[in-house]
A and B are shown apart, each in its own frame.
Chain A
Amino acid sequence: MNEATLIRKGLFRKVLRAILMMVSISIAFFIFGVLGAVNKAFNAGVDVAAANRLVIVNAINFTVSMPYAYFGRVQGVDGITHVTHANWFGGYYQQPANFVQTFAVEPETYLDVYPELILPPEQREAWINTRTCLIVGQALATQYGWSLGDRIPLNSNIWQQADGSSDWDFDICGIFTAEDSSVPTNYAMFHYEYFNESLAFARDTIGWMILTTEDVSLNDQVADEIDAMFANSPAETETTTEAAFSQAFVEQLGNINLILTSVIGAAFATILMIVGTTLVLAINERTKEIAVLKTLGFQSGRIFRMILTESFLLSLIGGAIGLGLATALVMAAAEGFQAFLPGFRMPLSVVWQAFALMIAFALVTGFFPAFNAMRIRIVEAFGKL
């Protein structure tokens, strides 16, 4: 026997009670883990945004396009390293329910602006030189079972070709991955030229532009210069950082952060009440036993530490079970969510936050019982028969 035995015996003095407390705790950490991962996935756009990357959209709204000529004019702005442009294609595969996020882009500069996208050199070569090439993100390729060399048609529910049809034929000549799994790869891209030349209407317009600046400190200056350049024209622009743009997009769905935080808050308030009161009660029951320990010569500080260790064990075991279950669920669901919640996985930051919360939770719930135990007066405790 040693101190660990005493702590264990104390914690499991009533086995069922200890298990019920752990269940409550694990539930809260399960909710924290799953919702934390969801929140992180929603904000992936903000997290993976490069600090020196700016997005130029039409000031009316980002869904409104701009003249192609703007591309050339932005290229001349000082302080820019690369600039590229993209159009929303609104694609689907075979039937409208099979939504495929597709952009018509300028092939070479797009990869310059997004260096985190990885394409093997020979595929990169093919991508730049093949007019009908479609490069597909790994996640998307997995979803539809596409592989290199496939020839597939994609339909657009927005655009029509001059001949009245709305399906474009593509050759998959590249499958791109990302250096970090939080970077989404659930979309496809093809040549702007191929797109533009076949259009029935709205030719020579671009959806938005993305650029990188030489240095973050130049961001404001570059943005102001671009917006000033197109001021008072029918298509004024609005240039923001990639992070701000992504943030605003997520906010459009609603205050997801607030909703998730409220639910997590509710879950933690619940276990704080349950475990907090139960622990105080449990230690009260043991007043006399603790007084005996003190009589035998156990120091107050040691008693405090032993009781606090019990609450740490409770919190860490319950929390680890909950977080483990959350991770298992997220891993199981990740595949299925790849299409609309790319990068859904258990982020390390959520795991650390969870452990920090477990420690905080143990301190909050354990402090008062431990403090009470430490202050038990032997003489009074024995009087309390």
Chain B
Amino acid sequence: MKQLFAVIGMNVRSIPQRAGMSIATITSVAFMVAVLLGFLAMANGFEKTINGSGSDDVAVFLRGGSQAEVNSVLAREDARLIEVAPGIATDESGDPIMSAELYVIVDGTKRSSQTEANLPLRGVQQQAVNLRQNFALTGGRMFEPGTAELVVGEGVIREFEGFDLGQTIRLGSNTWTIVGTFSTGGSVFDSEVWADLGVVQNLYQRGSSVQSLRARLTSPDAIEDVRAYVEGEDRLNLDVTSEREYFADSAGGIATLLKFVGWPLSIVMAIGAFAGAWNTMYSSVDSRTREIATLRTIGFSGFTAFMGTLIESLVLALLGGALAILVIYILFNGNSASTLGGGFTQIVFSFEVTLGSVISGLVLALSVGFLGGIIPGIRAARVPLLAVHQN
């Protein structure tokens, strides 16, 4: 054991003598881990935004077969029929907690690229704020019904220009005043702009039609009662889903795609880093052939030479992995980005470096270190004793 530590110590202390090669290995592992963590941080951040969006006790009503809000059209009468459905919760004054909603896709200018991108301008009714968990005004006030006033989600302010509190903004041929900002705790709704439903219908020629209805359920199980009611009512051709299901269906694909791209990419890069690590360890053994042979002649075992080399390799890989985690965490964690989501509008999300992805990164780094060190290690164990005479 003592000889093992002595040899490992000699190996590790000799790293600076091959500074160039060692740094090359560390950086190659670091780049590989950084690519993996970057993609996982995007995927996890996006997933977190989507998962935080839907609740089990909110039902979403859409036109039958329309799949997404953007495709759906509902008539005013639909709302009246649903109001009386069983299982819909009411507030203190006995009114059902529901909101008929309609969003128009409008152009916003992305800060990062200065190009126009789709933003949902959602017309909502008063109860809308009670239908989103964690809704809170973070600045200004709520819009006055009947006026061209907007409240803007925090994500929109981060990613888009011209939506700051107090500003006016032209969306199509209409001018709006921004009177408030809100947060829903990082959910999809933070990527939206809200206004009064009637005003949106009016200014964008939507008559009295809406796209969706959201209603609070008395309990998550009540959705079955609502569904039975809708199916039994001939005048309604609607699909009913819980809000959680709705989001899970509509946007899970992107996170999966990011992971499916991130993993193969970093594994391919791992092959390159592995070749680099192997090469470095091979040079390490090469340059210390005489030293190893001398130790073996004195009586150190081949196994210690093997372990010394393997651990040197693992140390280099670990340094690279740790470097990548540090850099990605400092540079990316919490960074904002946006992409086109299921509703054909931008979803703003934050990069999220999770413990799970950090562990994945370290495992990948150590695998590269292990595989890269093993064959040079065997070579070290087999250095012929006669190499003591080598010059």
Query: For B272, what are the chain A residues with a Cβ–Cβ distance below 8 Å?
Result: 23-24, 27-28, 267, 270-271, 274
A252 at the interface (CB under 8 A from B): yes
Cβ contact within 8 Å between B279 and A274: yes
Q: Are B67 and A274 in contact (CB under 8 A)?
A: no
**Residue B268 CB within 8 A of the other chain:** yes
A280 at the interface (CB under 8 A from B): yes
**A248 — which chain B residues lie within 8 A by C-beta?**
115-117
Q: Let me know if B113 and A281 touch, CB within 8 A.
A: no
CA distance in complex: A276, B391 (Å): 26
CB A42 to nearest CB in B, in angstroms, measures 13
Count B-side interface residues using an 8 Å CB cutoff: 54
Number of A-B contacts (CB under 8 A): 148
The answer to whether A252 touches B340, judged by C-beta atoms less than 8 angstroms apart, is: yes
* Bound: A155/B64 CA distance, A: 13
Chain B residues with CB below 8 A from A247, complex form? 115
- Determine if A255 and B115 form an interchain contact, defined as CB atoms under 8 angstroms apart: no
Q: Whole-angstrom distance between the alpha carbons of A21 and B275 in the complex?
A: 7
Interface size on A, as a range, is 35 or more
A24-B275 CB under 8 A given contacts A59-B172, A60-B204, A270-B31: yes
Nearest Cβ in chain B — how far from A191, in angstroms? 22
Residue of B with least CB distance to A274: B276
Q: Which residues of A contact B24 (CB under 8 A)?
A: 273-274, 276-278
Bound CA–CA A298/B23 (angstroms)? 35
Cα separation A131 to B337 with both chains bound (whole Å): 45
Binds A, one of B100-108, B181-189, B219-227: B100-108
When chains A and B are docked, how far (Å) is the Cα of A271 from the Cα of B21? 12
Is the C-beta of A31 less than 8 angstroms from some C-beta in chain B? yes
Are A24's CB and B276's CB within 8 A? Answer: yes
Also in contact, A255 and B112, with CB within 8 A (given A63-B118, A277-B20): yes
B34–A27 touching, CB < 8 Å? no
The residue that A61 contacts in the complex, of B68, B106, B276, with Cβ under 8 A, is B106
Are B275 and A27 within 8 A (Cβ)? yes
Q: Is B338's beta carbon under 8 Å from chain A?
A: yes
* Binary flags per residue of B13-31, CB closer than 8 Å to A gives 1, else 0: 0000000110111011001
A190 to chain B, nearest CB (A): 19
Q: Which residue of chain B lies nearest to A270 when distances are taken between CB atoms in the complex?
A: B28
Q: How many whole Å from B349's CB to the nearest CB in chain A?
A: 10
Query: Of A111-119, A229-237, A372-380, which binds chain B?
Result: A229-237
Contact between B340 and A253, CB atoms less than 8 A apart: yes
A12 nearest CB across to chain B (Å): 14
Residue of A235, A248, A263 with most chain B CB atoms under a 10 A cut-off:
A263
> A192 CA to B17 CA in the complex, in Å?
74
Q: Which residue of A lies closest to B346 (CB)?
A: A252
B281-311, CB under 8 A of A: which get 1 and which 0? 0110000000000000000000000000000
Q: When the two chains form their complex, are residues B282 and A16 in contact, meaning their CB atoms are under 8 A apart?
A: yes
Question: Are A20's CB and B275's CB within 8 A?
Answer: yes
Q: How far is the CA of A247 from the CA of B116 in the complex (A)?
A: 10
Judged by a CB distance under 8 angstroms, whether B163 is at the interface is: no
The answer to whether B32 has its CB under 8 Å from any CB of chain A is: yes
Q: Would you call B278 an interface residue if the criterion is a C-beta within 8 Å of the partner chain's C-beta atoms?
A: yes
List the B side residues contacting A208 at CB < 8 Å.
none
Q: Smallest Cβ distance from A242 to chain B, in angstroms?
A: 15
Compute how far the CA of A385 lies from the CA of B391 in the bound complex, rounded to whole angstroms. 9
Binary interface encoding of chain B residues 111-146 relative to chain A, with 1 for a CB under 8 A from any of its CBs, else 0: 011011110000000000000000000000000000
Chain B residues within an 8 Å CB radius of A158: 66, 71
Instruction: Report the Cα distance A17→B112, complex, angstroms.
Output: 44
Which of A21, A23, A233 gathers most chain B CB within 10 Å?
A23
Contacts A157-B65, A255-B112 given; does A31 touch B105 at CB 8 Å: no
Q: How many angstroms between the C-alpha atoms of A96 and B346 in the bound complex?
A: 22
Which of chain B's residues have a CB closer than 8 A to the CB of A277?
Answer: 20-21, 23-24
For residues 49 through 98 of chain A, which have their beta carbon under 8 Å from a beta carbon of chain B? 58-61, 63-64, 90, 96
Could you tell me which A residues sit within 8 Å of B by CB distance?
16-17, 20-21, 23-24, 27-28, 30-31, 58-61, 63-64, 90, 96, 155, 157-158, 166, 201, 232-236, 247-248, 251-255, 262-263, 266-267, 269-271, 273-274, 276-278, 280-281, 385
Q: List 27 A-B contacts (CB under 8 A).
A: A20-B278, A23-B271, A27-B272, A31-B265, A60-B105, A60-B106, A60-B107, A61-B105, A96-B65, A157-B66, A158-B66, A233-B173, A234-B205, A235-B173, A252-B340, A252-B346, A254-B338, A255-B112, A255-B113, A263-B35, A266-B269, A270-B273, A271-B272, A273-B23, A274-B272, A277-B24, A281-B20
- Nearest 7 Cβ contacts at the A-B interface: A60-B172, A27-B272, A277-B20, A273-B24, A274-B276, A266-B31, A270-B28
